[in-house]
Homo-oligomer: A and B are copies of this chain.
Amino acid sequence: MKVTIYDVAKEAGVSIATVSKVINNTGNMRESTRKRVLETMKEMNYTPSIMASALTGKSTQTLGLLVPDISNPFFAEMAKTIEDRAHEEGLSVIICSTDANPEKERKYLEVLQQKQADGILIASKFQDDTLLDDLIERNVPLVMLTIDDPTMNVSKVSIDDFKGGFIATNHLLNQGHENIVMIAEHAYSSRMRVYGYREAHELMSRKVQEDNIMYAEATIEGGKHCFEEIFKRNDAKLPSAIFACNDLLAIGIIHAAKEYGISIPEDLSVIGFDNTILATTSVPALTSVSQPVEDMGKMSVDLLLKEIKAGGQLKDRQLFNPELIIRGTTQAVKKSSKA
């Protein structure tokens, strides 16, 4: 069987209390004793049982990560950096895809608490905010990732979504596009990106056509549907550019456009968001607003660790800079068509 603290104690000729102190580096102790115990532990290849230690209220060395969908490359890439950083610190990560399903949200949160996760990283919007409020109230260490919702009083790591929406729209406007459709998700980040979209118009004294702001699910299919809906509108009003709130949507747009015989970027410019691997692999390569995934993932773990130490009292906020990566799906409007 597994070596326990009792075995070590017996072998080293001390009590289990002494061994425990050596493990946790607490209390006073003769240097010779500490050394002897340490050696015995090594010799016997002893590792403390996390279960037993967790039972007494100690940490489980486990984090929870809630994402909408791990098969979305953006979250997969994010998960990778989080996992890397966590493992560096000796923590494991339990990943949960909520699928924007309130029932799953509830259940996963329950499971994570039952498993006594030391802290939870939330990169998924919650249908039911009261679940989060409950966590906050009970001081569960929490960091919200990519969700900079000011109504939530927790630590947050995200990009400046307002700026993200602004630079994308601004780029299109500067290229001469006048009719720009924006496709948003039903998520907090999108709200701010929409404001950025508005601000860009405002600064150039352009009026926003309200029906140019559409909403869709963050999937390729969602993008296709949107395109079809746009296409069904009055042909005269067809946009010359579409700004999608993530790469999946943008890819969907591109696919649908191809089916409809509309060439990109000649007839239609497209901008995505997140700058995932999909943006680099699509042809033409997708212009996209990049989030510094690695920095954000690393920061979110570091922040959560601090939060855990502070007992969920910290409430920090880290804002990163989005960056527009210009590739092949955007193009200036030809003067002829403008005139």
Contacts and interface: CB of A to CB of B under 8 A. Distances in A.
Counting chain A residues whose Cβ lies within 8 A of the other chain, the interface size class is: 35 or more
Contact of A281 (B51, B54, B282): B282
Given A51-B116, A54-B51, A278-B281, A111 B92 contact: yes
Interface in A262-289: 277-278, 280-284
Contact of A92 (B47, B61, B94, B277): B94
Give the interface SS of chain A, mostly helix, strand, loop or mixed: helix
Contacts of A284: 283
A23 B73 CA distance: 41
Determine how many copies of this chain the complex contains.
2
Given A50-B115, A278-B278, A281-B278, A87 B73 contact: no
21 contacts: A47-B110, A49-B114, A50-B115, A51-B60, A51-B116, A69-B80, A70-B80, A71-B77, A71-B80, A76-B76, A84-B97, A92-B94, A93-B95, A220-B280, A258-B283, A277-B278, A278-B278, A278-B281, A281-B281, A282-B283, A283-B283
Given A73-B76, A80-B70, A282-B281, A47 B114 contact: yes
A35 interface: no
B282 A73 contact: no
A143 interface: no
A51 B62 CA distance: 13
A79 B70 contact: yes
Contacts of A281: 220, 251, 255, 278, 281-282
A31 B95 CA distance: 40
Nearest to A284: B283
Nearest 3 interchain pairs by C-beta: A283-B283, A76-B76, A71-B80
Contact of A51 (B55, B278, B280): B55
A61 B112 CA distance: 11
A108 interface: yes
A87 B71 contact: no
Interface of A: 47, 49-52, 54-55, 60-62, 69-71, 73, 76-77, 79-80, 83-84, 87, 92-97, 104, 107-108, 110-112, 114-116, 220, 251, 254-255, 258, 277-278, 280-284
A52 B55 contact: yes
A73 B114 contact: no
Contact of A83 (B61, B95, B116, B283): B95
A62 B116 CA distance: 13
A208 B79 CA distance: 41
Contacts of A92: 94, 96, 111-112, 115
A70 B178 CA distance: 40
Contacts of A94: 62, 92-94
